[in-house]
Structure formats: structure tokens, C-alpha cells
Amino acid sequence: MQLTDSHGRKINYLRLSVTDRCNMRCFYCMPKEGILKKGHDAILSYEELYLIAEISVAMGIEKIRITGGEPLVRAGIVAFLGKLAEITGLRHLALSTNGLLLADMAASLYSAGVQRLNVSLDSLDTTTFAEITRGGDLNRVLAGLDAAERVGFPPPKINVVIMKGINDAEILAFAEMTRKRGNSVRFIEYMPVLKEDGWQRYCISGEEILERIAGRYTLEQVDKGRFAGPSRDFRIPGALGAIGIITAVSGHFCSDCNRIRVTSTGQTKGCLFSDEKTDLTPLLRPPDREELTKALQGIVSGKAERHGITQAGYVHKNFTMSQVGG
Ligand code: SAM
């Protein structure tokens, strides 16, 4: 079955958040004090999350990415992933993690049937990394990357949020990583999520990132795979890993959008920056398959053609990526 939105985009990708809790406090993602802890009832149970996943696949979703918060901090995550991996019709099961717990969990994630890992890593310098994450240990993340490959995963994709004056001096070091380690690296434009004046000061466009890399290396364009989503991909000739640019803010993004999101509290959204969302919890308690299908279909067909964050009059939404499932 094929799922298409009202702008003709094929929607085959669900980002499913399993928790809003995180064991890091990246300054651009979460307030220092963390977010207000939700009661157990507010967070969907694994049975409820599974039902959403299963219905989505029946509707035409082919790829599910488990995200959060930090998905590896939720108890029982490995067993849940094992169940998801068995859904008939699901072609691709991926997980986003900050990598802190990966060294210990890589083997069980691989056995559970997770196919790909994305690891968020914003600096290769221990001090800058600790500053961005407010205390994170870079060496644990690097050990997690090594462990993932040792147990059989393809080299995890690295997601780097580039912020002017914070880590933009490391753009070339990350590009070099695609040659040295074979990881693909995706540079993500910083997006305004925390309600913060002057967020533009961190912004560097994907074009500028590319120009800086092209100043040192030759870049060849890479054909996108069927699950690639809205990144533009390049490769330094001979490098094992690719270099991707996600220009979420400056453009070239929405026309390739292939995703919907469901948060750990059961809110489903067609666009990260849209206010439009549907609360699935009343349809899950007790579960109503037909209504859940209708609600998910409604989110797909109601997907906006593009986000409006760079347009005049955009009203800043106050949310954290950890709540929406970045
Ligand atoms: N804990 C997991 C991880 O670290 O990948 C999954 C959740 S995390 C919220 C998902 C991604 O959102 C991370 O790569 C993070 O860097 C990104 N992110 C969070 N806030 C962002 C922002 N303001 N702009 C751009 N990316 C952001």
C-alpha cells in the first residue's frame, strides 16, 4: 500500500518517540534543569506504541525510526525493538541515540533486529562536547560507535548540528571522519525550538557548510536511497562515508519530506514546526484500530506543503526536540 499526502509526496517514514527523558542536556535542545517529568500514564505503553507502529505499516509506512528523548534510557527498549522488527511489511528499523549507552547495548540492539543506528555527535573535542551536552562524555560515545561496528552494524550515521561559534570550526574534522572511520556524517542546520531570542546567531546555512568542505575536498553528488528523506548527499572521492546536508531552516527540505511523527505522549504530527497535531491517546484507551487508522491518515493528508519558520510573522513555538522526537 502506498501512502501519499495531498501535495503528492510519498509518506513512508514514521519517527516514533518512546520517551521524552534524556541522559544529556544539550543546551540547544533541553533546558538545563531538564523538562517536567511526566507521569507514567502520560507516556504511551509499549503495547500502545506497537499498535501505532503496526497500523502505520499496514497503511504504507516502510521505515520506522525510534527516537526520543534518549530511547536507550527507557527500560524494556530492547524487547520492544525486537517486537517491532517482526512486523510484517516493515522494511527498515532504525534508532537514533546520543550514544552514551551504546557500548553496553550495541550487541542486544543488533540481536533485536535494529538495522541502522544514527548517533548524534556535535563535537570531536572532549571539552566542546561536554559544554554542548552539559556534561556528556565524548569517549563513551566514541566507544559506542566502535562497539556498534564490532557487533555487526554498518558504521552508524553521525548527525551533527552545526552552530556558529560553537562547533563550526569542526566542519572539516567531521568531513575527514567520513574518510578515516567510514561513518556517514549529516550536517543539520540548527533549528529554533527552545523559545530563545536571537536564535539566528547560531545559524549557518547548509550551503555555507558545503562551501567550507568544498574549499578543502572535492565533493561528488551521491544518489539518494529510497529511505533517504530530505538530505542532500555527497562523497569525498574514495571515502566510505557520505556527507549529507539537512537544510531544515534555509530550504530545499519540505518538498522531499516523507515522514510523520508520533510522540511518546501519543501526539501525532505531520510537521515538526506545525501546531497541528492529533492526540491518539483517546483512540488507544481502549484501542480502536479503525479510528487510529483514520487519525493517522488525517495527519498524512493534512501535512503542510512547507514549514513557515523563515517566513515573516512566524510565531515561535516553544517545544523541545526531546518532547517531539527530533
Ligand atoms: N537522543 C537521540 C539522539 O541524540 O539522537 C534522539 C533524540 S534527539 C532530540 C534527535 C536529534 O535532534 C539530535 O540529533 C539532536 O541534535 C537534534 N536536535 C535537537 N534540537 C535541535 C535543534 N534545535 N536544531 C537541530 N537539531 C536539533
DSSP 284-301: HTTB-HHHHHHHHHHHHH
Buried b (16+ CB within 10 A) or exposed e, 224-260: eeeebbbbbbbbbeebebbbbbbbbbeeebbeebbbb
User: For residue 5, how far is its CA from the centre of ligand 1 (angstroms)?
Assistant: 25
Q: Which atom of ligand 1 is nearest to the CA of 193?
A: 23
Choosing from 17, 25, 26, 29 the residue with most ligand 1 atoms within 8 A of its CB, the one to mutate for a pocket test is 29
Q: Are 46 and 76 in contact (CB under 8 A)?
A: yes
What pLDDT does 307 receive? 66
The closest-lying atom of ligand 1 relative to the alpha carbon of residue 67 is 6
β-pair partners for 234? 221, 243
Pick the atom of ligand 1 nearest to 194's CA. 23
**Rounded to whole angstroms, how far apart are CA atoms 154 and 225?**
15
| Strand partners for 244 | 186, 233
What is the rounded end-to-end Cα distance, in angstroms, of the chain?
A: 27
HSE toward the beta carbon, residue 230, CA cutoff 13 A:
23
Question: Cell numbers at residue 275, please?
Answer: 501546531
Closest CA to 314 of 195, 206, 202: 195
Ligand 1: distance of its center to the CA of 303 in Å?
22
Q: Residue 64's beta-bridge partner residues?
A: 14, 93
* Inter-residue contact 321 to 68 (CB < 8 Å): no
Q: Are 19 and 75 in contact (CB under 8 A)?
A: no
* CB-defined site of ligand 1, < 6 Å: 22, 28-29, 67-68, 70, 96-98, 120, 159, 161, 188, 190-191, 193, 321-322, 326
Quote the CA–CA distance of 324 and 89 in Å, as a whole number.
25
Q: Nearest-CA neighbor of 81 among 89, 315, 3, 92?
A: 92
Q: What is the chain's percent helix, strand, coil content, to nearest 5? A: 35, 15, 50
Predicted local distance difference test score (pLDDT) of residue 16:
97
pLDDT averaged per 10 residues in sequence order, the chain, 326 residues: 86 95 92 78 96 97 97 98 98 98 98 98 98 97 98 97 96 97 93 71 91 97 71 94 87 78 94 83 97 95 75 58 63
Pocket probe mutation, ligand 1, options 16, 117, 118, 188, max atoms within 8 Å of Cβ: 188
With vertex at residue 263, the alpha carbon angle to CA 152 and CA 158, rounded to the nearest 5 degrees, is 35
What does the pLDDT read at residue 313? 59
Q: Which of 20, 321, 323, 324 to mutate to test the pocket of ligand 1 (most atoms within 8 A of CB)?
A: 321
Q: Which atom of ligand 1 is nearest the CA belonging to 118?
A: 5
Number of C-beta neighbours around residue 184 at 10 A: 24
Alpha-carbon distance of 262 to 53, in angstroms, equals 10
The 10s digit of each residue's pLDDT in 206-246 is 999 999 999 999 999 998 765 566 788 999 999 999 999 98
The H or E element spanning position 259 is strand 259-262
Q: CB under 8 Å, gap of 24 or more: what pairs does 252-255 form?
A: 252/206, 253/306, 253/307, 254/230, 254/304, 254/305, 254/306, 254/307, 255/9, 255/306
DSSP 169: G
> Closest Cα to residue 228, out of 302, 142, 157?
157
Between strands 220-221 and 232-235, the pairing is: antiparallel
